[in-house]
Structure formats: structure tokens, C-alpha cells
Amino acid sequence: MGGETFNLAEFLLDRHVREGRGDRPVLIFRDRTVSFRTLLEQSNRLASALLRLGLEPENRLLLGLADRPEFYVAYFAALKIGAVPVLVSTLATALDYAYFLRHSRAKVAVVEGEVAERLRCVSDPPPSLRHVVVVGEPGPSEIGWDDLLSRPGPEPGPACTSPEDMAFWMYSSGTTGRPKAVVHLHRNLLHFMPPHCREVVDLGPGDRVYSTSKLYFSYGRNNSLDGPFLYGAEVVVNPDRPEPGAVLDLLEAYRPTVFYSVPTFYAALLEHLHRTGRRVSLSSLRCCVSAGEPLPKSVFDRWWERFRIPIFDGVGSTEVGAIYLSNTPRKLRPGSSGVLLPGFEGKLFDEEGREVPRGNVGTLWVKNDGIFAGYWNDPRKTRQALQGEWFVTADLFSVDDDGFYWYMGRADDLLKPGGLWVSPLEVEGVLLEHPAVAECAVVGAPDEMGLEKPMAFVVLREGYAPSLTLERELREFVQARLARYKHPRWFRFVPELPRTVTGKLQRYRLRETLRQERRAAS
């Protein structure tokens, strides 16, 4: 890593120009391409502007942008000067952004126009926030992106960051519904990213990558930034919400070699093709990758039957940094989560902290030199998640005699529909605000494709009766308050919820009821 200093932006971006690849395209955005050199020049210009705005090493920069070149410019500019980009979803609500700003103490926010509108709704912005930079039309007290970059300034060199300095943050949901800030260091990517790139997709300069998962998610950042900039591949960048028809258009037009998505979207693509009868050629693709939620074997089989392209399903996390369990070209077992990739170690433990025998179910602990440093300003949860060098994933697995891991669910009841984390408590908290709801519980239930979606069990207050009208009212109530992927797909009215003698909700009994119903129906 070059001694005592290492700057991730210099390694991922400047290095390509220094080594003679400056004029090669790296981003393909609609009708134009962006070379390594152009991206470096723009990020240097923004880095200079951020220094003028008072952003200093270890100051946080809130980054709320869709997948567009400006995202890369802002990300690398912040890293270059030693500041810490905090990646947040453009789908977040105004309340979410208020929390992100307070918790991160971000001094500068670089956001989409639609996100700026939500920031304006924050009634009491924290005093730490000095400037809001808008890619779009700025408000009276905001700075326009184009105006900021138009002002000349001295070109900054990379900050003398150490491998152990903070590089970037991403927020990860927890069982309380309060997001945790996952802190990664400048050196971490060199440990968590190469195993997937080498063992699963064999990524190189001749590849072109496209991902339906967005850059502000860990999986999307891996796919469209970490891997391509580590190995010099091209990236197809698209800010739009993925829709099956549009994604198929893009795959045929730009002909990527590696495609990343989530099981829900692979199923949606197959359903779109079946419904429309459309014929497409995906001959440019040599492999597809899935993560974010378990890939049903039926989806793998249908995709293989139609395209003869394998989908390599895997498991990763924001804390670990990237995919650590995966099917590979040499080790492929549809329906499983694959094997541990080189550079990662794993063990399964029971509730008493004892390692379980092979074939038994246990909570997976993972070890790798790139695992996160901790949760910002949350030592209690950091101690719970990190046991020495091991990260406690809260995912339940069994492992067979051939080393393939089989996913058995979440130990902490989090849901992951469409590859996006959902806290049941967050959804339940919203439902409990409705006057008809006395109690409720949200669990994961499989849809017709076997993919997990939120399902709400609701106990009504006295004076209310179950009806389709009330169900529609509850659905609209949630839709007005939470992001779309958090909405319950189904509502079931029940007289009571299963609880322990001390009153603790037993979600596992609701999940078991659903499993029994499915077995009886089959």
C-alpha cells in the first residue's frame, strides 16, 4: 500500500491515469462516455471546491445522488481530500435525512434535486451542515453543482491518509429500526473485493458491467464502482428506477459482459418476457450475479433454460464489505448460497456460543481483513457485532459436506425484500399509528416466485372489523409514510399475536404458521 500512507481515491482512480489508461472510457452514461482522465479532472476540480467550502479530513460529506457521473466525481473528490463520503439512498424520506444529517454531522451534502426538496422539509437542520450542493436547480440557500465546478482553484494532491483512516460510511438497518453507520477504512476494499472479482466473475479491463442495484447500496457500490475501478472495467451507469422492459433495452443496446441484479428482478425479467413474448439476445453476457436475498432454484432454472447463462448467487453485507459466500463457475449448486470465497473464514455457532457440527443450523461468523471497523458512535452494537476479528452476521445457515452453505433465515428478524433491508419494527411502528391497529407484527412471506416480501399480521382495536376497505386503508396509510419496498404485500387480521409469558413477540411462530400452511396447500 505504499508505506504509511494510502488513499483509496488515488488507488482506484489516479492510478489508471498514471499507468497510461487515462483515455480509456470507464463510465457509459446514456449517449456519452467518461474516461478515467476526465473523471479525474472533474473530481480534482470538485475536491478543490470542497476545500474552499471548508471540508476537512474526516469531515463527513452526505452523498444522496442517483447513479450518474456526478456520484463518482463527488465520491472520489471527498476521498481524495481525506473527507468521508456518507452514502445514503435517494429513496429515503425527509425524516430519514434528518437522522442521517444529525448522526453523521455532515458538513456538506451533495444531493439530487428531489433529495434537496426533502432536505428543505427538515424543520431543524443540525448546525454541523454548512452547505447543500444540488445536482439540479438549487434553492436560495443552496449551491448549484455546475456553478461550484465552474470556479477555478488549485488542484489538490491526495491527502496523506493512512490505511487505517476512515474512508466511507454506509447506513445499515438494525432490529430497532434505527440505521447504524457502518465505517470502512481506506484499506478495507483491497481485502473484501478481490475474492469476488477473481473467483466469481474473473473481472478484467475487457469487461463491461451493469448493475440494477444502485451505487448508494453496498451491493451496487461493489458492482458499479469497487470492482470496475479496481480492475479497470467499464461501467454502464443508469439513474432510472429499473423496469424490466427498459433494462432489457439497455442490455441489448450496451452489451455488458457481466450483469448484477437481485432475485426479485431476475424473476421480474422472466415474467416480463413470458407475458410480452418478447425475444431478446443477451449474447454479450458471460455471467450473471445475484445477491441481496436468496435466489430460488426455480428462478435459476428458468433463467438457465432461456439464456444458458448461469446466475451465481451469493451473500454479502455492508459490514463485511462485499460478497463472501458465493456460487462460482467451478462450484455451482443452485438453491444454495455457495461456498466461502478465498480470503474469508466462516464458522457456525449456536445460541450458547458453541460451534455447531456440520449439517446443523447456526449463526454465521465471518472473518476477513476488510471487515468494517465498527458502527459510528455505537460501541454497544459494535461489541455485539464484532467478536475479536469475527463479524457476527445474524444469518442462519447450515453447511453440507461439500462446503456449500444453505440459508435458513435471519436470527434478528430483519427482512430483505428485493435486496433492501427492512426492519419489521419500523413498519410496525407506522401501522400502530393507525387508529384501527391495536397490535401488529411484520414477517417475511414468500410470493408466488418464492421471494420474500413483508406480510403484516394485525390485531384490530375494539369497534373495528376486518374488511377489504380497511385493508386498503392500512396499505395507503403505510404507503404515505414509508419507502415503497417496505410496504406489506399482504395483511392478515388475527385475534391475537403469539407472545412469551413475559409478553415478548414470537415472530418465528408466525413464520412457522405460514410454512405449515404452504406445506398443507402443496
Q: What is the helix (H) or strand (E) element at residue 76, kind and residue range? A: helix 69-80
Dihedral, 142, 376, 88, 185 alpha carbons, nearest 10: 100
Crossing angle, helix 424-431 and helix 468-479, to 10 degrees? 120
Structure confidence at residue 501 (pLDDT): 55
Mean per-residue pLDDT pooled into runs of 10, the chain (522 residues): 82 97 97 96 96 96 98 98 97 92 97 96 91 96 95 85 98 69 98 98 97 95 98 98 96 98 91 93 96 88 96 97 98 96 96 87 95 97 95 92 89 78 83 91 88 93 94 95 92 89 74 87 79
Structure confidence at residue 502 (pLDDT): 52
Query: Are the C-beta atoms of residues 382 and 413 closer than 8 Å to each other?
Result: no
Q: How far is CA 447 from CA 264, 455, 485, 489, in A?
A: 10, 10, 14, 9
What pLDDT, in 10s, does the model give residues 444-498?
A: 998 888 888 999 999 998 899 999 999 999 999 999 999 888 999 999 999 999 8
Domains, the chain: 8-163 (3.40.50.980), 189-410 (3.40.50.12780), 422-521 (3.30.300.30)
- CA atoms in the 13 A half-sphere facing the CB of 239: 16
- Ordered DSSP codes for 84-106: EEEE--TT--HHHHHHHHHHHT-
- Ordered DSSP codes for 465-502: ---HHHHHHHHHHHHTTS-GGGS-SEEEE-S---B-TT
